[in-house]
A and B are shown apart, each in its own frame.
Chain A
Amino acid sequence: MTGPISDVTVLDLTNHITGPYATKLLGDFGANVIKVERPGGDLARRLGPFLDDQKHPERSGTFFFFNTNKRSIVIDLEREEGRSVLGRLMDRADVVVESFRPGVLDDLGVGWDFVHARKPSLPLVSISNFGQESPYRDYKGSELVLYGFAGEMYSMGVAEREPVKMYGTAALVQSGAAAATAIFGAVMVGRMQGVGQHVDFSIADSHLCGADRRHVSPIAFEFSGRRTPRAPAEARAVLAGVYPCQDGFVEFSAAGLRIDRLAAMLGNPDWLADPKWFRQAAFLDPDLAAEFEGHFYAWLMDHSKREIWSRARGARVLCGPLFTTEEIFEDPHFRDRGFWVTANHAEMGAVEMPGRPFIMGDTPWELRRPAPLLAEHTLEILEEAGYTDVEIRALVASGAVEAR
């Protein structure tokens, strides 16, 4: 069995996080992803964490994660012969994806007009911060800048402090998944209807329109004139949020609170048998809330996060322990399910990493190859495109392509 889209070729000119995550998803499910790198390589090769903290373009954990199942060719698009190679690769591709700043591909002479003239059924998907047409078209972005502007960062955190973001590059990764649907949608229209088009994917728009709370606060305001602030640090409903316990923290939820289930989790203690707890909205009474939390904190500090979660699961209470990265790596559930995979890489050795994002019963996810070394596949990709050995040697000698 192979991936569901093993008959699809993606010509991938993207850099950094969002574009590469989108094409990784496609590659991981079988697509032939040809990663066209500039001389020097994807910017992500300069981003850590690096193996043994040694900065080296083949030791980047960021690059490694986001570029599995791709092959790398280095083309100098500043050179005419390089652009000619790109054109030849377009002839065999089902989609071209790029994430240059708007206008750069046109300036290089290989933008939409070039793509469309070369092959009318071939779509081009351009991924950018704010889109190809916007008052902010030429503006720069970053995880923080784009999430602050387009995501629901404003109401994250506490009123006494500044808004606070998610981990790392979570928002750019989310956009990568959304971009994958745009890319594959363009492939479907191109292959099934023979119509190519230039798709404008804006990272900002994918957050303004995404299901990460930013779809809620503007419409609540539009409806009612009510705004969504950050709540003060002390203003928190019973069970809504993170609580300390014996060996760390656990997260509960006030949503769907059921006192009978809560009692079962706590071992049906005598103090919780009093009918006062079973009245509707009992926890909205500040005295009762304080009395409950007094008992609850004591119980939490008596139990480990794994014990608490186990009892919560048994009682069907919404709960999750705050695991460290190591605890997740070692956790039996994800081990049992075969979530982790090991990739063998020429420079980094055996690297264990998160595996499939989802399971397709008939067409499984596969780690067919680790992230590519820079220019690792230049020669074979050129051969597949029909170049002769003599032509390839000339291209390498001219600097239009780089091989290893």
Chain B
Amino acid sequence: MANLPLDGIRVIDLCVVWAGPFATLLLGDLGAEVIKPENPFLMQPMTRGTIARPSKELAARLPPAAGGYPNNDPGPRPWNYNPTFVQLYRNKKSFSVDLTRPEGMDIFARLVAKSDVVIENNATETMEKLGITYEWLKSLNDDIIMVRIPAYGSNGPYAQARALGVHLESVMGHTLLRGYRDLDPSYNRAIFSGDYLAGAQAALAVMMAVWHRNATGRGQLIELGQAENASAMLAQAFMDFTLNGREQERLGNRSIYGEAPCGVYPCLSSGTAEECGDRWIAITVTDDDEWKALCGVMGDPAWAADPSLAKVDGRAAQQDLLDAQIAAWTASFDDYDLFHRLQAAGVPAAPVLEGSRVLDDPHVVARRIYQPQTMHGGVGTFRFLTPFYRFPESPSTVRQPPVAMGEHNEYVYREVIGVTDEEYERLRAAGHISMDFDPSIP
């Protein structure tokens, strides 16, 4: 057996929303000790919800992502289990401190001196207003690694522009390139694909910087501009433009490579889309053999025997016909039943899983992807995500269930920073040390 790759590395997590917290989630899963400083006098936008203490009635009116609290009860500390963020709190520690006061910054500085990495993805100037710059961190800890994840980068005309992932998708071209072929892009709903990509790559950047520091003794400043980072997801569109001067068109669910059929087709539904009863199967036929296999599963219907459909170019030219015929055929099948039939014949297919169905899928169960965790505060035991890393010799496990704000105050203040009893009491009395947001927070 072996230790996890980042065992012994301490990471200070100043992150918000998804990109940064996903990076630190992966670092924690890989063995780093991730410590989140949280301010009980300031609800950082998009870290633990937007409203500190929503009523039951308000929670019920919010969409499930924002208001779907355990047992539909926000409870006394709703910020500890907001569905939009709670799955990013695994394998992290939390302590509370008010960084807007000098004694809070003193505590932070003492933590920096004992840490390896500081990572942040706040709105521009947030760190500067607090005085947390790379130069300052380096003065406290010469080989510190700092990762900044700004929207557009630290220089250039858009350096100060505020953005969520969805705005970066628009600027980089994703929003024009995705969505229904026959509807304008105003029908597109927000996606946040850049948060995943930037988060994973920020974690990679930290790992490589640790590797480099081990070899040279030098830390460094890393800047991940999220807009630039997202370009890899649009690679083929950029390459088409640079090679051929072509602006690609929106293709909906069709393949950019002309693989056909490639679409999402209706299956037997248990209800309407509004009540999440609609069922769909995704099918991609990537070559001519798979087309033959699909025809076989369909019972070799006469329309599919048209020789012009035998080759990919012919199918690509007749996608409207293919989609209509296949949709008429799939509509009478259960989605899982059809999934297994198609895959058994060698046709790439899968149900488009509505979120609630994920938890009981045979693959998810067999690989133990969701496992029961007991949350802090007696809220109950629920199935949460586990790390996706499968390292048999250095297993990535859940060392800490989703962390409550301030859950590690004792550990961080006393054991890591080493404050005296007198200091601890003084900081507690001044409100720095708490497991609750201040009552003044709405």
Q: Is the CB of B348 within 8 A of A141?
A: yes
A22 to chain B, nearest CB (A): 9
Verify A316–B162 contact, CB threshold 8 A: yes
Residues of chain A contacted by B334 (CB below 8 angstroms): none
Which single member of B161, B179, B195, B241 contacts A326 (CB below 8 Å)? Answer: B241
> Is B386 an interface residue when CB atoms closer than 8 A count as contact?
yes
User: Complex formed: what's the CA distance from A264 to B233 in Å?
Assistant: 34
On whether the beta carbons of A180 and B200 are closer than 8 Å, the reply is yes
Please classify how large the interface on chain B is, using the bins under 10, 10 to 19, 20 to 34, 35 or more: 35 or more
Residues on B with C-beta less than 8 A from A65 are 232, 235-236, 238-239
Closest residue to B134 on the A side, CB-wise?
A361
Say whether A228 contacts B64, CB under 8 Å.
Answer: yes
Say whether, besides A358-B202, A360-B208, A131 and B367 are in contact (CB < 8 Å). Answer: yes
A251 CA / B262 CA spacing, docked (Å): 29
Kindly provide the distance from the CB of B311 to the nearest chain A CB, expressed in whole angstroms: 14
Q: Does B47 belong to the interface (CB within 8 Å)?
A: no
Most buried by B among A59, A223, A359: A223
Q: Which of A149, A162, A357, A359 contacts B350 (CB 8 A)?
A: A149
Are A223's CB and B71's CB within 8 A? Answer: yes
Known interface pairs A5-B212, A145-B349, A198-B392. Does A52 touch B243 (Cβ–Cβ under 8 Å)? yes
Q: Is the CB of B156 within 8 A of A334?
A: yes
By the criterion CB–CB under 8 Å, are B215 and A212 in contact?
no
Nearest neighbor of B396 in chain A, beta-carbon distance:
A185
Contact of B229 among A148, A309, A358 (CB under 8 A): A358
B400 interfacial contact with A, CB 8 Å: no
Q: Which residues between 267 and 289 of chain B lie within 8 Å of chain A, taking CB atoms?
A: 272-276, 280, 282-284, 286
Q: Is the CB of B87 within 8 A of A216?
A: yes
**Contact in complex: A332, B157 (CB < 8 Å):** yes
Question: Could you say which residues of chain A place their CB within 8 Å of the CB of B394?
Answer: 189, 193, 195, 197
A166 within 8 A of B: yes
> Which residue on B lies nearest to A63, using beta carbons?
B239
- Asked if residues A249 and B185 are in contact (CB atoms below 8 Å), the reply is yes
Known: A149-B351, A152-B355, A217-B356. A164 touches B244 (CB 8 A): no
Which residues between 384 and 417 of chain B lie within 8 Å of chain A, taking CB atoms? Answer: 384-394
Establish whether residues B237 and A215, one from each chain, have CB atoms under 8 Å apart when the complex forms.
no
A contact residues around B231 at 8 Å (CB): 339, 354, 357
> What distance in Å separates the Cβ of B135 from its nearest Cβ neighbour in chain A?
12
With a cutoff of 8 Å between Cβ atoms, the chain A residues found around residue B419 in the complex are none
CB 8 Å contact bits of A191-231 with B (1 = contact, 0 = none): 01101111111101110111111111111111111111111
Most chain B beta-carbon neighbours within 10 Å: one of A5, A205, A332, A355: A205
Would you give the shortest CB distance from A161 to chain B, in whole angstroms?
Answer: 6
Could you tell me if A154 and B84 are in contact, using CB atoms closer than 8 angstroms? no
B57 on the A face (CB < 8 A): no
Q: Is B212 a contact partner of A320 (Cβ separation < 8 A)?
A: no
**Which residues from B are CB-within-8-Å of A353?**
238-239, 242
27 sample A-B contacts, Cβ–Cβ < 8 Å, listed by A number: A5-B211, A48-B236, A49-B236, A49-B239, A50-B243, A52-B244, A65-B235, A136-B362, A142-B284, A154-B352, A162-B263, A173-B197, A182-B389, A185-B391, A195-B394, A208-B358, A208-B369, A219-B382, A220-B68, A220-B83, A222-B359, A223-B68, A232-B274, A322-B173, A351-B242, A359-B223, A363-B212
